[in-house]
Amino acid sequence: MTPTDYISIPTPARCYADFCLIPVGTAHASVAEEVAEVQKLLKASGLKYTMHSAGSWDEVMKVIGQAHAVVHQTGCVRVQSSMRVGTRTDKAQTAADKVKRVEEILAKDGQ
């Protein structure tokens, strides 16, 4: 791969995303309805989530983009997201696997 061949760099096979989506400029102070729409989308996407999403890079990024779209469809003209994205190539691990591992350590320590 040459230094200028950036277009052919593949995305990682799997990822997790921790994203925070904030509807901005709604007609009311509560954003519960908009957040509920995003939750419906996450459930329908088939991704495993616990307020975390995990799947292929393309699947995760698509759902985050769609989350913006469903909030825009509620009439909100501006949506802002921040996210942390991680990848791991040595093994497949879900968010639930990570939580379970920490719980096992805590149980061993009597906590």
pLDDT-derived band at 42 (thresholds 50, 70, 90) equals confident
Give the pTM.
0.58
- Does 52 have pLDDT greater than 70? no
Report the alpha-carbon distance of residue 109 to residue 8 in Å, rounded: 47
Helix spans in the chain (H) = 32-45, 57-73, 95-108
pLDDT at 2 over 70: no
Supply the pLDDT for residue 66. Answer: 92
Indicate whether 97 pLDDT > 70. yes
Percent of the chain topping pLDDT 90: 5
Q: Tell me the three state secondary structure of residue 66.
A: helix
Q: What is the DSSP string of 81-96?
A: EEEEEE--SS----HH
Judge whether residue 18 has pLDDT over 70: yes
At 37, is the secondary structure helix, strand, or coil? helix
| Residue 35: strand, helix, or coil | helix
